[in-house]
Amino acid sequence: MNEMLARVVAAAALAVSTAASAGLLDNAWIKCTTDKDPVSYRVGEKMKFTLTPMGVEGEVPEGEYSVKFKRSDDFGNFEEKTLPFDGKPFVYETSMSRPGFVRIEAFVVDKAGKRVKKQFTGDATTPEGRKAMNKFEKAKKDVFFDGGAGADVDKLVPPEEPGDFDAFWKKQFARLDSVPVRFLEKVEVPQKNPKARVYAVSIACAEGIRPVTGYLSIPVAVDEGKKFPARLETHGYGGNPGFHMPPERGRDGEIVLNINAHGMKLPAFGATDDDLAELKKSIKSNGKTYAFDPVQNANPEAAYFNGMVLRVKRGLQCLKKLKGWNGKDLYASGGSQGGLQTIWAAGCGEGVTRANSDITWCCDMPMNEPRLAKKASTAGWYIPWVPALGYYDAANWAKRIPTTCRTSITRAGLGDYTCPPTGLAKMYNNIPGDNKSIRWVQGSEHGYVPPEYPGRDFMHGKK
């Protein structure tokens, strides 16, 4: 690594907190900007990153800290260095020889090589202080940067999908359509909005598939003949799920069906701890948490995602039959696994008109297998690949989204390697037409978004 890089990376450690300088970095974070839109580079073009420590309160002791720096990419190439720092912002330059993404990571470490952790230094004896402390406890404690940039991302396409993709889903949807749309259970539950009512519901699904369960929020104005948009809301991954509890307040501006991924029994229907324990046991397969068993996933009809897709489609079908739906506005929204389900909803043929998918999981799933096999530096949290998972891949479903559906990828983190940027780009590229948008966020991991600053967010597509 050249002298310039050594200086550049070392400076990232301006975000250091130690006993010798208590509180120095308890509010610190590292901002990164690029010399242009980070997903607009071309192959061979120089990418210029400027990393600037922010929120540092005082002088950084010389020689006390280092930065662990890592440069990696989609093709298994990576370089790691531990460097001293001089407390100044730094610049790092690199490029890509093929279409794809580069990832840059820089973590402040102490003399023992351990990542520096922020400490809460406020006054927790006041209500404001307790609120600040609670917010701090939920935040990431590292002082770091994790992000990157892409080259020729518009040329990224996923591998070939299963040849019988549409025939397979025609068969699965026929299973669903053989069971009429009807409530198995519907019980009103308490909530705090007098302009809405909320019901715990269970909706019949395909034979052998657990029902759709969740909470249906309906504006009271429906009783007066008023019509509203309808929305399906879906959940992120929960390998060890708890009870699905009702919302505190119902919605009075739209009809909302919020469903869990499992069709679990709800407390309003008498769910007990034993029921929850049985669910947790039943969703596992061969000792794997749900959807992660390659043996189960080898048969696409037995894959855990199969029932999840059918529950998503049945949820939309139910919304379309409700009194009070305006007959034209049908929305779907969710994040992570919920973002995957949102793409399923948009592509399943039920006429979704707006889909907001956040940090979409399982895009171009074959891409992640080499990362797992090599334990590469960019390895994240991926389902082991088997070809049958191609029937569930968001990148393949994206091709089925009609151009009448306004599809928004509301966050795509350039440091999110649970949902890698390359997969997000391939999925986005597969959405037909131009009635779509994606918001790339520099420095954002799956569960972390840095403070807002100019040069953090980049919107592509329809405004």
Question: Any idea what the CATH number is for the domain that residue 16 is in?
Answer: 2.60.40.1930
**DSSP H or E run through 212:** strand 212-219
Stated length of the chain = 463
The residue assigned the tokens 């191609």 is 390
Within a domain: 130: yes
Within a domain: 150: yes
Indicate if 143 and 204 belong to the same structural domain.
no
Within a domain: 290: yes
Indicate if 170 and 103 belong to the same structural domain.
no
Q: Is 125 helix (H, G, I), strand (E, B) or coil?
A: coil
Indicate if 238 and 378 belong to the same structural domain.
yes
The residue assigned the tokens 């894959």 is 303
Within a domain: 452: yes
pLDDT of residue 380: 66
Which domain-ending residue is among 116, 132, 155?
155
Indicate if 111 and 209 belong to the same structural domain.
no
Which domain-ending residue is among 133, 155, 177?
155
Indicate if 133 and 197 belong to the same structural domain.
no
- Decide: 144 and 106 in contact? Cβ < 8 Å: yes
pTM, two decimals, is 0.92
Indicate if 127 and 188 belong to the same structural domain.
no
Which domain-ending residue is among 155, 178, 204?
155
Indicate if 83 and 212 belong to the same structural domain.
no
Within a domain: 160: no
Label the pairing between strands 325-335 and 406-413. unpaired
Indicate if 104 and 137 belong to the same structural domain.
yes
Alpha-carbon span 54 to 14, nearest angstrom: 8
Indicate if 8 and 139 belong to the same structural domain.
yes
CATH code for the domain in which residue 294 is found: 3.40.50.1820
Domain count, the chain: 2
Alpha-carbon span 5 to 253, nearest angstrom: 54
The residue assigned the tokens 């037995």 is 302
Tokens read off for 156: 């990224």
Alpha-carbon span 341 to 361, nearest angstrom: 9
Within a domain: 239: yes
Indicate if 211 and 246 belong to the same structural domain.
yes
- Decide: 226 and 260 in contact? Cβ < 8 Å: no
Domain that residue 374 falls in: 165-461
Indicate if 330 and 227 belong to the same structural domain.
yes
Indicate if 183 and 50 belong to the same structural domain.
no
- Would the CA dihedral through 345, 349, 355, 357 be positive or negative? positive
Within a domain: 295: yes
State the virtual CA torsion across 412, 417, 421, 426 in degrees, nearest 10: -110
pLDDT values of the chain reduced to their tens digit, one per residue, 463 residues: 444 444 444 444 333 333 333 478 788 899 999 999 999 999 999 999 999 989 878 888 888 888 899 999 998 888 898 877 666 788 999 999 999 999 999 999 888 889 989 888 888 888 888 888 888 888 888 989 999 999 999 999 998 999 999 999 999 999 999 999 999 999 999 999 999 999 999 999 999 999 999 999 999 999 999 999 999 999 999 988 999 999 999 999 999 999 999 999 999 999 999 999 999 999 999 999 999 999 999 999 999 999 999 999 999 999 999 999 999 999 999 999 999 999 999 999 999 999 999 999 999 999 876 665 555 545 568 899 999 999 999 999 999 999 999 999 999 999 999 999 999 999 999 999 999 999 999 999 999 999 999 999 999 998 8
Alpha-carbon span 362 to 449, nearest angstrom: 20
Within a domain: 399: yes
Which bin fits 421, alpha (ψ -120 to 50), beta or left (φ > 0)?
A: alpha
Alpha-carbon span 423 to 428, nearest angstrom: 9
